Structure 1
């Protein structure tokens, strides 16, 4: 099941979970589904197609747990989900690359001029958490694209 934006699945949906679930609740949902779809637990009287579907489902469940079972990766995923939700709720006016923003040395922030005359201002740590920046004078929002980190 996809999140509706891009190609990344909704890991919470795969586990039948919610972002507000505790780690213990996430673990319990994962374990229940893993037992249900684990290839070694499947009965021999199912068709090869259903067996392949079950194996694929088990892989998705395992991947979801890999992301949501670790606090760091869960936090990063939650931030990405929030960005996607904000983009759907508040349409992005423009996409720019971080290199297009200007670094203001004295005030230690990036800025980019808005068409209304205001500025999009972001400190470096803000851009680590989200890629959406509001104008300081109007309701426009830009998405700051960063080079992928290898």
Structure 2
């Protein structure tokens, strides 16, 4: 499911100004009045424009955006199966280049927990090759 942020082409931590600029640029490009049906007959452009409008209506309001962000976080943390193990972050190897912590899986793959995910309390890391997942144990300082 495409998020409002993806519809506007901005990251989830985008500022209000960045969201506004992205919205304005997309409106100039996709507004129905700007489309020439004889040259470019596209129902996809109309659908895309409506998605952009919905995204803007939600993200421009501070309270609606806060609620939407909470809903996104809840969706991402829904129960999707068992956790294979709890692993302390001190047992994981830190990769400076990717800013992530890695831990070997018994299948030969790697569990990867990025700093960005851990900062927003997303502490479940899937294996890169199998369906196992671990919970990363850590504390925020």
Q: Which TM-score applies when normalising by structure 2?
A: 0.53
Matched residues, number: 84
Q: What is the DSSP-based 3-state SS (H/G/I as helix, E as strand, rest coil) of the residue aligned with 2:49?
A: helix
Shift of 1:44: 4.1
CA spacing shift, 1:60–1:92, aligned 2, 3 Å: farther
Shift of 1:47: 4.4
Q: How does 1:49-88 map to 2 (within 5 A)?
A: 50=42, 52-87=43-78
Shift of 1:45: 3.3
Instruction: Please list every run of 5 or more consecutive structure 1 residues that lacks an aligned counterpart in the other structure.
Output: 3-8, 94-138, 140-150
CA separation in 1, counterparts of 2:17 and 2:60?
A: 9
CA spacing shift, 1:26–1:43, aligned 2, 3 Å: same
Report what 1:14 is aligned to.
7
Is 1:41 matched up with 2:16? no
CA RMSD, Structure 1 to Structure 2 (Å):
2.3
CA separation in 1, counterparts of 2:54 and 2:34?
A: 19
Instruction: Please list every run of 5 or more consecutive structure 2 residues that lacks an aligned counterpart in the other structure.
Output: 84-134, 136-141
CA separation in 2, counterparts of 1:75 and 1:59?
A: 21
Report what 1:24 is aligned to.
17
Q: Which TM-score applies when normalising by structure 1?
A: 0.50
Once the two structures are superposed, residues 5-38 of structure 1 have per-residue CA deviations (whole angstroms, 9 ceiling, x without a partner) of: xxxx411100001111000000000110111100
